[in-house]
Structure 1
Amino acid sequence: MINIYNDINALEATFRKTPEFEALTEAVATVKADEEALQIFKNFRKIQIDLQQKQIAGEDILEDELVYAQKAAQLAQQNAKISAMLTAEMQLSKVIEEVNRILVKPIQTLYEGL
């Protein structure tokens, strides 16, 4: 019997060794080591989560909330350490997207020609 979870766990271990994951790990450590960058990022992240929760709940997002979120995002992007971390995260996301594309390929193949 095939146990896909063994393969997935092996993939996860390999994933942690990719240059993209290692770059993100280093970038996160750099942000954590800088108290100012860490606080800016935590604030930015909290605002993102709060707005997402409002959207999920079907609540309207107020104009002043959007303006505040945009200012927080600009402040985060202006910080070189945070910007480098977000860039590293985007590079890692590309790897995840490719893995996902490969994983769903058998399903897509099943539906071809319907």
Structure 2
Amino acid sequence: MINIYNEINALEGTFRKTSEFEELKEAVELVKNDEEALNVFKNFRKIQIELQKKQLAGEEILEDELVYAQKAAQLAQQNEKISSMLEAEMKLSKVIEEVNRILVKPIQTLYEGI
């Protein structure tokens, strides 16, 4: 029997060598090394997580919370370093989506014709 985890670990190593991963890594470092950008991003992320927790708990998200989240998102997007980091993350997400599509393809073919 094949040990899929060996293959996945090898894929992780390859993943870390992609230009998309390297671009994100560099963008993250730029944000980390800029105190203002780091604080703006931390605040934005904190708000995102709080809203996600409320949503998962089935709690209502209040209008003022949404407005505050939108303002935090706008502030983050206005910061060039954060914006570049988020763009790099989106590029990397596309690679992940493609890998996922390839991984689930065998499952999809099993169900073809049903």
User: What TM-score do you get using the length of structure 2 for normalisation?
Assistant: 1.00
**Aligned AA (1:56):** L
Query: 1:34: how far off?
Result: 0.0
Q: Percent of pairs identical after alignment?
A: 83
Structure 1: give runs of 5+ residues left out of the alignment. none
Question: Does the alignment pair 1:78 with 2:78?
Answer: yes
Q: Which residue of 1 aligns with 2:93?
A: 93
Question: Does the alignment pair 1:18 with 2:18?
Answer: yes
CA distance in structure 2 between the aligned counterparts of 1:77 and 1:63, rounded to whole angstroms: 21
Give the secondary structure class of the aligned counterpart of 1:61: coil
Q: Which residue of 2 aligns with 1:30?
A: 30
How many residues matched?
114
Q: Which residue of 2 aligns with 1:45?
A: 45
Question: Does the alignment pair 1:104 with 2:88?
Answer: no
Query: 1:52: how far off?
Result: 0.2
Give the secondary structure class of the aligned counterpart of 2:9: helix
1:61-72 to structure 2, matched below 5 A, reads 61-72=61-72
Query: 1:61: how far off?
Result: 0.2
Give the secondary structure class of the aligned counterpart of 1:113: coil
CA distance in structure 1 between the aligned counterparts of 2:59 and 2:6, rounded to whole angstroms: 42
CA distance in structure 2 between the aligned counterparts of 1:3 and 1:63, rounded to whole angstroms: 50
CA distance in structure 1 between the aligned counterparts of 2:18 and 2:48, rounded to whole angstroms: 28
User: What TM-score do you get using the length of structure 1 for normalisation?
Assistant: 1.00
Query: 1:10: how far off?
Result: 0.0
Query: 1:6: how far off?
Result: 0.2
Query: 1:13: how far off?
Result: 0.3
CA distance in structure 2 between the aligned counterparts of 1:20 and 1:50, rounded to whole angstroms: 28
**Aligned AA (1:37):** A
Structure 2: give runs of 5+ residues left out of the alignment. none
